[in-house]
Amino acid sequence: MVDFLKLLQNENMKIYRRAATWVMFALVVGIPVMIALAVYLFTPDDLPSNWFITMIASNIVINLVAIFTVVKAADAVAGEFAQGTIKLLLIRPWNRSVILLSKYLALLLFGLIMTVAAFAASFITGVAFFGYAGSPEDMGRNSPWTFMLLWYLYQFISIVVIATLAFMMSAVFRSGGLTIGLSIFLLFAGNIITSILMPLNKPFVKYILFPHLQLTTYLDGGRGPLPQYPMTLEFSLAVLGAYFLVFVAIAWLVFSRRDVS
């Protein structure tokens, strides 16, 4: 167990010793500050509540968190191949599946830290510029805390699924560029694909991955991402879970078996 934590420590070192990682953090923390500052400066009267600002900032930075996590996921395996270090990494007394697990857990930890940083930055700047409102009127909700925390939880679940997809592609393609391109394309094209498929009026639309990444549509009693197919949160989670298992299975099978040449 202690030995496995050392593998995790290694993977963390390879994430946080890179300048690019800290640029990512700077953006996730800096953008809420800039948004709050801009709203504060350009709306002299009738200032919104801190929660309103937190919501606006969160909607923007959560996309960055998703992109950055996907970039790290794409780099996780493909980066080792690109540098050639995979040949030194895999000739240690560990099975490949355990090494892959250490990489995957380090990635999830990165996604979690980024998500928490996004929330903390959005919340703190909101309060710093606009004061704290216990029950804000412009949110129209009784408990802004419950709403925001659930919102972040749902977003984090989506990030885990999309990052797992990118991680799988990283292990299969062994090319960071291809994986990053494809994952980010899917991240943004997902909604477009969904809206193209929706008018087809076929029930299989309910089983496509992308709509279910919009879990926040269940907040405040919503019926899910597809208006003509009301669904439940449980159903969406089940679909995401099924995709997740497939991604994980492919990643581990391919990584454990294929020759490194």
Q: How far is the CB of 260 from another protein (least distance, A)?
A: 4
Report how many residues bind another protein under the rule CB under 8 A: 25
Residue 55 carries which side chain, given as an amino acid letter? M
Find the binder of another protein among 92, 142, 201, 228 (CB under 8 A).
92
25 to 64: interface string for another protein, x by CB under 8 A: ----------------------------------------
Rg (CA), the chain: 20
- Asked whether position 22 contacts another protein by CB under 8 A, the answer is no
Distance of alpha carbon 200 from alpha carbon 204, whole angstroms:
10
Distance of alpha carbon 2 from alpha carbon 250, whole angstroms:
28
Can you list the alpha helix ranges (DSSP code H) found in 90-143?
A: 96-130
How many CA atoms are closer than 13 Å to the CA of 126, on its beta-carbon side? 23
Q: How far is the CB of 103 from another protein (least distance, A)?
A: 13
Find the binder of another protein among 1, 17, 45, 228 (CB under 8 A).
17
- Asked whether position 97 contacts another protein by CB under 8 A, the answer is no
Nearer to another protein, 9 or 43 (CB): 9
Find the binder of another protein among 1, 42, 45, 93 (CB under 8 A).
93
> What is the DSSP-derived secondary structure letter of residue 206?
G
Question: Is residue 65 within a helix (H) or strand (E), and if so which, with residue range?
Answer: helix 50-83
**Interactions with another protein, residue window 183-212 (CB under 8 A):** none
Distance of alpha carbon 190 from alpha carbon 175, whole angstroms:
22
> What is the DSSP-derived secondary structure letter of residue 213?
G
Q: By CB under 8 A, name the binding residues for another protein.
A: 3, 6-7, 9-10, 13-14, 17-19, 83-85, 87-88, 90-95, 257, 259-261
